[in-house]
Chains A and B, each alone.
Chain A
Amino acid sequence: MFLHVRLFFVLYWELINIAEMKEAKQLVVSAIQNGTVIDHVPARNLFKVIQILGLDHIENQITFGTNLESKKLGRKAIIKISDRFFEDDDINRIALVAPQAKLNIIRDYEVVEKKVVEVPDNITGIAKCMNPKCITNFEHVTTRFRVVSKKNVALKCHYCEKITSQENLQII
């Protein structure tokens, strides 16, 4: 009898644990009241996204999780920024490193708007020109590119006119 009670007790705790784990899985990164959630960031590019958006220089509360399972990306990252909303032009800058990123705009814990990122027509100051003889790799020049292909990203340097393709893309 005593044994049965103990077994039940253990089972009961196991169940609670599993329930908690499920809860935890759903909210690895805790919810925010107001702000922006950037989801479906490739895990390897999380810090590039942080850098491009200048999140390392702002005072807002930011929580993020990385190496989360994702069917689409394998391993993804998610960033939640409290009380911060981005202009489309700003957010499109991350398209080079997180082309499938999805944004949720949160107000009072509710998703009020969803956005996807779009590769812009021009890229200023994010990417490095792959041409080792380009002036931008010798002097302090802000790089500028025209996007000549959006699907397989290809950037034409405003200065040396050479193409930097996705495989050679380096974020400054």
Chain B
Amino acid sequence: MKNRSLVSIDDFTKDEIIRILDLAVEFEAQPVRKLLEGKVIATLFFEPSTRTRLSFESAINRLGGKIVGFADSSTSSVTKGETLYDTIRMVNSYCDLIVMRHPFEGSARYASEIASVPVINAGDGANQHPTQTLLDLYSIRKTQGTLDNLNIFMVGDLKYGRTVHSLMMAMARWNTTFNFISPEELSMPDEFKLYLDNAGLKYYEHLDFSDIISRADIIYMTRVQKERFSDPIEYEKVKNVYVLKNSMLKNTKPNLRILHPLPRVNEIHTDVDSNPKAYYFEQALNGVFTRQAILCTLLGIN
């Protein structure tokens, strides 16, 4: 897989995903390994994303690699009007791998075609964020012991949330049953439902939480953002409907885990945090191991 990029989760086969997850298990057991000694990794954040950047930089540092780059395009030559093409051509000659976050959709695919070194997409607008998907898969497999035949509930903004779309498409390879809980205005778009229909998978749509969550293996929470609503009254009506509280977890399965890509606002009540079924902070930690595995895989280091 040397000199291969990770732009979209569909770039990797089921077997390749499993190999990355297996490698991440090794990094969890022993996170500090000097496998990237002498390597320079560029982290180009054309829009700020503190969480993702720190997770990557932590992964690179634990592997002994060096980092060049910027955290915000206001400190780069982009403000002088440099094209992405020129930036990538230039950075390409300074480093062994590029991690890139950019507000425009398709920018990572484009960069991967310009660069001769591997490119990792750390989010291109509302399009893809494959390292988030891989860490979600890692968290699911770690907590459930398997990825096969699970019942996953996705809650909140299912229309614009790229993490739920990528995760849904990735999990569709493991015979997952999906339950979608969202306000009508933010329901799962038809193209993704069509994707599940074509894959022959079952999914159910609901307008609110109810006893049905007793069947869940994973509840994947997302933020319902006010700016997504054309009518502010609609937001006021639903804003408290999609909040998970500890009392709601009473009759849920013992293996249930609650995931959230973070940052959270109020959609998971803080009284859930102490419940052993809350898993979102461990999930964030898993991101470091998963990114270590992705970096090494793309650089052909094992």
Contacts A161-B8, A163-B191; is A135 near B107 (CB within 8 Å)?
yes
Is residue A84 within 8 Å, beta carbon to beta carbon, of the partner chain?
A: no
Inter-chain contact A135/B110, CB cutoff 8 Å: yes
Contacts of A135 in B (CB 8 A): 84, 102, 104-107, 109-110, 124
Please tell me which one of the listed residues A131, A141, A163 contacts residue B105 in the complex, with CB atoms under 8 A apart. Answer: A131
Inter-chain contact B126/A139, CB cutoff 8 Å: no
Nearest to A154 among chain B residues (CB) is: B191
Number of cross-chain contacts by CB at 8 Å: 51
Q: Is the interface of A mostly helix, strand, loop or mixed?
A: loop
Q: How large is the interface on A (under 10, 10 to 19, 20 to 34, 35 or more residues)?
A: 10 to 19
Q: Which of B118-139 contact A (CB under 8 A)?
A: 124-128
Would you give 15 A-B contacts (Cβ < 8 Å), ordered by A? A129-B106, A133-B126, A134-B105, A135-B84, A135-B104, A135-B106, A135-B110, A140-B85, A158-B109, A159-B106, A159-B107, A159-B109, A160-B125, A161-B105, A161-B127
Nearest to B110 among chain A residues (CB) is: A135
Contacts A159-B109, A161-B8; is A133 near B104 (CB within 8 Å)?
yes
Query: How far apart are the CA atoms of A140 and B84 in the complex, in Å?
Result: 10
Contacts of B105 in A (CB 8 A): 131, 133-135, 159-162
Contacts of A157 in B (CB 8 A): 106
Query: How far apart are the CA atoms of A2 and B55 in the complex, in Å?
Result: 106
Is residue A100 within 8 Å, beta carbon to beta carbon, of the partner chain?
A: no
Q: How near does chain A come to B11, taking the closest CB pair, in angstroms?
A: 12
Is residue A138 within 8 Å, beta carbon to beta carbon, of the partner chain?
A: yes
Query: How far apart are the CA atoms of A158 and B127 in the complex, in Å?
Result: 12
Contacts of A131 in B (CB 8 A): 105
Q: How large is the interface on B (under 10, 10 to 19, 20 to 34, 35 or more residues)?
A: 10 to 19
Contacts of B128 in A (CB 8 A): 161
Q: How near does chain B come to A139, taking the closest CB pair, in angstroms?
A: 6
Q: How near does chain A come to B7, taking the closest CB pair, in angstroms?
A: 9
Is residue B48 within 8 Å, beta carbon to beta carbon, of the partner chain?
A: no
Nearest to B83 among chain A residues (CB) is: A139
Is residue A136 within 8 Å, beta carbon to beta carbon, of the partner chain?
A: yes
Is residue B161 within 8 Å, beta carbon to beta carbon, of the partner chain?
A: no
Is residue B65 within 8 Å, beta carbon to beta carbon, of the partner chain?
A: no
Contacts of A140 in B (CB 8 A): 83, 85
Is residue B64 within 8 Å, beta carbon to beta carbon, of the partner chain?
A: no
Contacts A139-B85, A160-B125, A163-B191; is A134 near B104 (CB within 8 Å)?
yes
Is residue B103 within 8 Å, beta carbon to beta carbon, of the partner chain?
A: yes
Please tell me which one of the listed residues A133, A139, A163 contacts residue B110 in the complex, with CB atoms under 8 A apart. Answer: A139
5 more A-B residue pairs beyond the given contacts A131-B105, A135-B84, A139-B84, with a C-beta to C-beta distance below 8 A: A133-B126, A134-B104, A135-B105, A135-B124, A159-B107
Query: How far apart are the CA atoms of A139 and B46 in the complex, in Å?
Result: 15
Q: How near does chain A come to B255, taking the closest CB pair, in angstroms?
A: 33
B8, B105, B124: residue with the most chain A Cβ atoms closer than 10 Å: B105
Query: How far apart are the CA atoms of A156 and B258 in the complex, in Å?
Result: 34
Query: How far apart are the CA atoms of A80 and B106 in the complex, in Å?
Result: 40
Contacts of B84 in A (CB 8 A): 135, 139
Inter-chain contact A136/B191, CB cutoff 8 Å: no
B83, B107, B125: residue with the most chain A Cβ atoms closer than 10 Å: B107
B104, B109, B126, B128: residue with the most chain A Cβ atoms closer than 10 Å: B104
Q: Which of A114-172 contact B (CB under 8 A)?
A: 129, 131, 133-136, 138-141, 157-163
Query: How far apart are the CA atoms of A120 and B272 in the complex, in Å?
Result: 53
Q: How near does chain A come to B33, taking the closest CB pair, in angstroms?
A: 35
Q: Which of B74-105 contact A (CB under 8 A)?
A: 83-85, 102-105
